[in-house]
Amino acid sequence: MGKVRVFSLAKQLGLRSEALIAALAELGVQNVTPATAIDEGTAAAATELLA
């Protein structure tokens, strides 16, 4: 399973990293920075939450 950095996913979604980090916090993912790598499942869950 691959990983994606928060800033890269935010850019793909047209969001600021802070908005994505807030969504990740809602999912229970803590201590995240824009450079943090998250797994594809977490990225998909955050994308769904923001959609």
Q: Tens digit of pLDDT for each residue in 29-47?
A: 999 999 999 999 999 999 9
Residue 6's pLDDT is 98
User: What distance in Å separates the CA atoms of residue 30 and residue 28, rounded to the nearest whole number?
Assistant: 6
**3, part of any domain:** yes
**Domain membership flag for residue 15:** yes
Position 2 in a domain: yes
Q: Buried b vs exposed e over 15-41: b needs ≥16 C-beta within 10 Å? A: bebeebbebbeeeebeebebebebeee
> Is pLDDT larger for residue 1 or for residue 11?
11
Write out the residue range of the structural domain in which residue 10 sits.
1-31
- Whether residue 47 is contained in a domain is answered as no
Q: How many domains does the chain have?
A: 1
Whether residue 49 is contained in a domain is answered as: no
Pick from 1, 12, 2, 36: which is nearest to 24 by CA? 36
pLDDT of residue 51: 85
38 domain-assigned:
no
